[in-house]
Structure 1
Amino acid sequence: MRERTWRPGGPVDVAGTLRPHRRGAGDPAWQQAADGAIWRTARTPDGPGTLRVSVRAGEGVVVGRSFGPGGEWMLETLPELLGGGDEAAAFHQLMDRLGSMRHPLVYELARRHGDLRVGRTSRVFEALVPAVLEQKVVGREARRAWRWLLTRYGEPAPGPGPEGMRVFPEPEVWRTIPSWDWHRAGVEGVRARTIINAAPHAGKFEAATSEEADRLMRSLPGIGVWTSAETRQRAHGDPDAVSVGDYHIPSLVGWSLTGARTDDAGMLGLLAPYRGHRHRVVRLLELGGTRPPARGPRMAARDYRSF
C-alpha cells in the first residue's frame, strides 16, 4: 500500500468531482464505502491499480491510498483527478466579466457549488468504452453492459477494496471479445464494432491533447461529437466539451434558462456566453437546474440477449 496526502488549497467537493466517473450504482470500477471513502480502479500506464480517496475535513486534506502496480501512478495523478488542474478561477472571472449578461441561475449555482471541480483521469480509452456503450440507449441498459463486460473480462482489483471490483481490461482484450459475449452483455453489433475498431488506437488517444483526441476519435466509424465530448469531459477534464446530441441535456439547459424546451442549436446559443466552460455550466445545471415535465412513456431498455 502507498499513501499520499494532498492539500488542495481550497474547498473541493471530492464526491461530486469523482461522480461523473461512476457508471451506475453497481459499477465494478467505482464504489463508495459506508464511511464515505471512494474506491476506483484504473488501467494505468504501469498496470492495474486501485485507489481509495478519503477526506480529513478538519485538516483540509485529501488522503489517497493505492494498491497494485499502477498505484504509484494513481497517487501521482490524484490532484488532477480531483480537479487540481481545473481552471475554475477563470470561470468565476468570466462570470464577473459577463455581469448583467450572465443568467441569474448560473451565477447562483456557481456561487453555491464553488467547490465543484472538473477533474481528469488521463485514461482516454477507459472513458471511451462506456461512452460508446451509452450511445442511443437508456442508462440502465448501458450500465448493465458495462457491469457485465468488466465482471467477465476485467481482472480483480488489487488491494483490499470492496468485493467484486474489477480493473478495466487491456485494449487487446476488447478486440478479442467474441460476438456471443457482446450479445450476452446486451451490446448490438454497431457499438461492439466501434469499440473493437477503436482499441488499436488506444495508445494514440492517451498521448493526445483534448483537441487532438477529438479529431482522432471522430475519424473512426461510430464515434461522433457526443461520444467524443463525453470521453474528453472525463479523460481530459475538458470544461468546454458539450455533449451535443444528448437526449436530455438540451431540454435541461433550455428549461432551466428560459422555461422552454430547446434543441442542440438552441442549447449552444444559450451556452455561448460561457464558451470555454460550457460543460461546467451543464454540470451546474444538472445539480440545480430544472427539467421539463415528462411527456409520454419513457424509452424502454432494449435486450439483445437470448434466454
Structure 2
Amino acid sequence: MIGDFDSRYRAVSSRDERFDGWFIVAVTSTGIYCRPSCPAVTPKRKNVRFYPTAGAAQYAGFRACKRCLPDAVPGSPEWDVRADAAARAMRLISDGVVDREGVSGLAGRLGYTERHLHRLLVAELGAGPLALARTRRAHTARLLLESTGLPITQVAFAAGFSSIRQFNETVRAVFAATPGELRRAGRRGGVSEGMERGEIHLRLPYREPLDIGGLLDFLGARAVPGIESYEGGVYRRTLRLPHGAGTVALSAGEGRIRCVLRLEDLRDLGAAVQRCRRLLDLDADPVAVDGAFAADPILGPLVAGRPGLRTPGGTDAEELAARAVLGQQVSVAGARTLAGRLVRNCGDGLPVSLQDPAETLTHLFPEPAAIAEAGPDQSGLPGARHETLVSLAGSLERGEVLLDPGADRDEARRRLLSLRGIGPWTASYVAMRALGEPDAFLPTDLGVRRALARLGHPGNPRGVEALAERWRPWRSYAVQHLWKSLGGAPKEKEARREETVA
C-alpha cells in the first residue's frame, strides 16, 4: 500500500497521521528523521530517504526530530500482520529479548545463527538486532526521563544500558541532546503526565478511529477476580513481567490511552508498555481493516456502526491459553469463576510494594509450573478438562508449546492441536488473542453462529467457514464485529466434541 517512493512522499506532503509508525522519513540536508506527519516544512524529494524503522534511520546516521518525536507513535501494524522471521524478530525485540538474553538469545528463539539473523534483519529492516534494540532502549530512556524523577544514573540502567557512558552516547546520538536536556524539554512539552506515589503515568498513542469503550467493556466482562478489575471506565490488572511484578490501569484519554503503571523493577517498563499495547491492539491499522469490510453485505453495516473495533489481546500468552481451556463449554461468567478459583488456589500473591488497600488486585495469574501441579479440586474442572489444562501447562513449562511474541503461529497451532482436549476453537482463540493473529476465525463458536443467523446467514460451521474466506486477512476482526452485534458478552461455548475428548 505504501511501498513506493511516490506514495510515501505524498503521505509526507499531506502530513497524513495514518502513516505514522508505518515508515520513517529521513532528511539528508538536516540529518534528522521524522514521522510522516511532522509539521515541519516538507523536504525536497532529492533530500528524502525512507526507512522501515527508526532503528534503520539511526543506523544510517540520522537523529530523531525534536519537534515530532518520531518514536512516540504507534508501532507498525506490519510486524503484527506478518508471520516471517523479520516480523517475529521485531516482536521479540520490542518485548526486550535482546536486552535480557542478548542477540544469541534472540537468534536461538528464531532458530538462526547470529550472523544469519543479522544479515536477514539488515536486508529486511535496514538495521541489525543490536541497532534495533538500541532504539528500543533509547525510547524507554526517554519515557523514564520525561515521566519520572529518577536520578539519571538509575534511568540508564532501568532502560537496559550496561554503562552510563553507553547511555549518554546513545541519547546524544539518537536525540541530539543530553539526558538532562531531554528531561527538561519533555516536561515543557507535556509529553508525559509525570510520576506520583510510585506510579508512572503515560499516554499511549494509537491510530484513529478506536472503539476504546467496546475494547475495555470486552476486557471488563472477562475480568478475573484477584488479577483484574473494571470500574468507572478504568480497567486494571496485575502483570507478571521479566524482572518482577507490576500493575496497570488503562482508560480513555484525549487522543491517547491513559496508562498508569506500578512496577517492582523499572527495567520492566519497556516490556510492560509493549504488552499493554498488545492487550489493546494499539498498533493496528483500523482504516485498512474497516475499509476491507466496508462493502461487505454482512459486515459493512456493523463496521459503519462501530468503526475502529480492535481485537483484544493479552499481557501474558500463557495465561490466555490456560483461560481458553477454562472457558471451554461454559459461559463468560462461568469462565471467570473458574479462573478466579485457580488464581486463589495456585497464584502468587501480589508483592506488598504494589498492593493498595483500596484496590481489588491481590494476585498474579499462576505460572504454568504451578498449574501443572494443581489438583482437580484447585481448578474446579471436570476430570477430562482438568487433564487438558494440566497437559497444556506442562507443555508450556517444558517449552514444547511456545507462545512468546516471536512464536511461529502455525507451529504453535499444530502443537496445541496435538494436545488431548484442545480442538480448533481453542487453538484459534489462543492464536487470535494470545499470539495477535489478525486472521484467526472461530466457525464453530456459538456467538459467531448466532450472530450470523440473526443477520440472515445459515449458522452451520461449514457454511460459516466458507463465508469467512472473503474476510481474509482480517477474520479476527470479523469475529469481534459479530460478537458485538449480539449486544452483549457472547457465550463463548465450544460445542464441538473434539474439545471434550475423554
Q: Taking structure 2 as the reference length, what is the TM-score of the superposition?
A: 0.51
Deviations 1:236-294 (A, max 9, x none): 23232112332342232233243xx4211121122221122223122112222589xxx
- For the pair 1:148 / 2:341, whether they are aligned, the reply is yes
- For the pair 1:199 / 2:393, whether they are aligned, the reply is yes
Pairing 1:1-40 to 2, within 5 Å after superposition: 1-22=199-220, 24=222, 27-34=225-232, 36-40=233-237
Tell me which residue corresponds to 2:482. Answer: 285
1:172 offset after TM fit, Å?
Answer: 0.8
Of 228, 232, 240 in structure 2, the residue corresponding to residue 43 of structure 1 is 240
Of 105, 125, 134 in structure 1, the residue corresponding to residue 318 of structure 2 is 125
In 2, the alpha carbon distance for the partners of 1:193 and 1:23 equals 27
Deviations 1:122-180 (A, max 9, x none): 52211111110121234443322111111222233434372254211111110111233
In 2, the alpha carbon distance for the partners of 1:7 and 1:250 equals 34
1:225 offset after TM fit, Å?
Answer: 0.6
Query: Cα distance 1:9–1:278, how it changes in 2: closer, same or farther (>3 A)?
Result: closer
1:205 offset after TM fit, Å?
Answer: 2.2
Q: Which moved more, 1:153-162 or 1:268-277?
A: 153-162
Paired residues of 1:2 and 1:65 also in contact (CA < 8 A): yes
Paired residues of 1:120 and 1:235 also in contact (CA < 8 A): yes
Larger relative contact order (CA 8 Å, sep ≥ 6): 1
Paired residues of 2:323 and 2:335 also in contact (CA < 8 A): yes
Pairing 1:147-296 to 2, within 5 Å after superposition: 147-157=340-350, 158-160=354-356, 162-182=359-379, 185=380, 187-202=381-396, 203=399, 204-206=402-404, 207-258=406-457, 261-289=458-486
In 2, the alpha carbon distance for the partners of 1:20 and 1:216 equals 28
Of 247, 256, 273 in structure 2, the residue corresponding to residue 75 of structure 1 is 273
Tell me which residue corresponds to 1:63. Answer: 258
Q: Which moved more, 1:279-288 or 1:19-28?
A: 19-28
In 2, the alpha carbon distance for the partners of 1:25 and 1:76 equals 20
Pairing 1:130-141 to 2, within 5 Å after superposition: 130-141=323-334
Identity across matched positions, percent = 23
1:6 offset after TM fit, Å?
Answer: 1.8
In 2, the alpha carbon distance for the partners of 1:117 and 1:11 equals 10
Query: 3-state SS of the aligned residue for 1:155?
Result: coil
Deviations 1:186-228 (A, max 9, x none): x011111112111233252224133232122112222111011
Gaps of 5+ in 1: 292-298, 300-307
Query: 3-state SS of the aligned residue for 1:77?
Result: helix
Paired residues of 1:4 and 1:63 also in contact (CA < 8 A): yes
Paired residues of 2:311 and 2:476 also in contact (CA < 8 A): no
- For the pair 1:92 / 2:290, whether they are aligned, the reply is yes
Paired residues of 2:210 and 2:286 also in contact (CA < 8 A): no
Q: Taking structure 1 as the reference length, what is the TM-score of the superposition?
A: 0.80
Gaps of 5+ in 2: 1-198, 489-494, 496-502
Deviations 1:53-77 (A, max 9, x none): 12223xx121211123376222233
In 1, the alpha carbon distance for the partners of 2:374 and 2:344 equals 13
CA RMSD for the aligned pairs?
Answer: 2.7
